[in-house]
Amino acid sequence: MILMQSKAVFLDAYRELNAKKLFWLTLGLNLLVVALFASLGINKEGVSFWHWTFDNQFMNTNFIPKELFYKIQFTAWGVPIWLSWATTILALISTAGIIPDMVSGGTIEPMLSKPIGRIRLFITKYLTGLLFVGLQILVFAVGCLLVLGIRAGSWEFGLFLAVPIVLAFFSYLFSFCVFVGLVTRSTIAALLLTILFWLAIFIVNTGDTIMLSQREGAILQVEDRQNDVEVQERFAQKRIEQFREQGKPIPGEGDEPLPTNATDSLSAVNPTLTTARDRLQETKDSVPTWEAWAKRVYILKTVLPKTQETIALLERHLISDDELSDLMQMGANGQSANEDEPAMADPRVPERVAEIMRGRTIWWILGTSFAFEAIFLGLSTLIFVRRDF
């Protein structure tokens, strides 16, 4: 009977989706995006779209193999922009009403009067909400698999990993949406508060990137300035040795006084050393501050769902570390930090930040996110079980 009832709830959810124009609209848009994806190409000259070719000195098959090009497109905008933003917004609009509609007067009574437990009814209904996104992602993934297979000759079944990953991402938001929908019984409130919550997560994610960039920038700057100081000191040491050979007095040694702006013999013979040392100290002082902020944001992130990192898991799977490293080097090739620019502007910083992000464990990303989802889903279930309708 359990299977029969669950099947009935899913079938009803499918019919409800089927009756919604938005479901078909989203599906149509998914296919359109797949068609655009298929229209993109790469050749020796650059990037092509239909029969037009746009010359590009980096984006061509001399640097990027066809297969990697399509994987990059899929992981760079197919998943993070299309599936994670556009489809998710459409999915939230379509599914935000599932729980408020279910608990509305006249609808809930026939359901509760059937021999099905409240917990099972609620969880099954929750899962039907995920059905919407599941179907959409599946269609998109199949479309992209065909594009990659036909256009690049690579049948990358790893693309299907997008289904559970994007589904997990959506489920974090949906658990919050369900909670608000149940408490307020309002679709509009559920939708708006979920989008606000999503925005808050986005801000925290951005804050995390900024703090990590600042910290890593500061660390790199310390390394650079430390080298600079060492170079200056070696130069000063050479000068002192020259002074000795020439029998000239060395400031700070014996009775020879130090100039006012010098702290030792080295800085006395090389005045720029003092400035270099000051700048090094200044940067060293800033590191603990950025470290503290990065830690605070990390703690905050730990309790929130990791939307950005969850989506990035797909990129981790599809693009190897070597491929990523090559791409990063292409972007940062030959560039180094300008002394006068802020630490964050160092072109090596994004690579370091990406490395740190990639270093975050799957358990931390998914475990804490699912814990968040479990808490909200648990709270919602508790409310549903205890409430009188």
Chain contacts with another protein (rule: CB under 8 A): 1, 4-5, 7-9, 11-12, 15-16, 18-19, 104-117, 386, 388-389
Toward another protein, which CB reaches closer, 110 or 247?
A: 110
Smallest gap from Cβ 1 to another protein, in A, equals: 4
Distance CA 389, CA 272 (A): 78
Q: Which two tokens stand for residue 204?
A: 């925290």
Judged by beta carbon, residue 113 or residue 260, the one nearer another protein is 113
Give 353's contacts (C-beta < 8 A, 6+ positions apart).
Answer: 209, 212, 213, 216
Nearer to another protein, 202 or 389 (CB): 389
Q: Which of 108/357 has CB closer to another protein?
A: 108
Q: 118-152 vs 88-95: helix axis angle to the nearest 10?
A: 150
Rounded least distance, CB 187 to another protein, Å: 15
Cβ nearer to another protein, comparing 107 with 281: 107
Q: How many Å apart are CA 22 and CA 117, to the nearest integer?
A: 31
Q: Which of 176, 213, 150 is nearest to 341 (CA)?
A: 213
Measured between alpha carbons, how far is 203 from 200 in angstroms, rounded to an integer?
5
Neighbouring CB atoms inside 10 A of 289's CB total 12
Instruction: Provide DSSP, 84-126.
Output: IIIIHHHHHHHHTTHHHHHTSTTTHHHHHTSS--HHHHHHHHH
Q: CB-wise, 28 or 117, nearer to another protein?
A: 117
Minimum gap (Å) between residue 11 Cβ and another protein: 7
Question: In whole angstroms, how far apart are CA 326 and each of 78, 312, 321?
Answer: 21, 18, 9
Q: At what angle do helices 321-332 and 349-359 cross, to 10 degrees?
A: 160
- In contact, 224 and 337? CB cutoff 8 Å: yes
Q: Nearest distance from residue 27's CB to another protein, in Å?
A: 17
Cα separation, 209 vs 236, whole angstroms = 39
Q: How far is the CB of 316 from another protein (least distance, A)?
A: 41
Angle of CA points 301, 306, 310, to nearest 5°: 150
Q: Least distance (Å) from another protein to the CB of residue 100?
A: 13
- Min dist CB 19 to another protein, Å, is 4
Residue closer to another protein by CB (options 108, 142) is 108
- Nearer of residues 11 and 35 to another protein, judged by Cβ: 11
Nearer to another protein, 4 or 299 (CB): 4
Residue 171 CB, nearest approach to another protein (Å): 24
How far apart CA 141 and CA 144 sit, in angstroms, is: 5
CB 54 to another protein: min, Å = 46
CA-nearest of 50, 282, 286, 308 to 168 is 308
Q: Return the CA Rg of the chain.
A: 29
The one-character DSSP state at 153 is: S
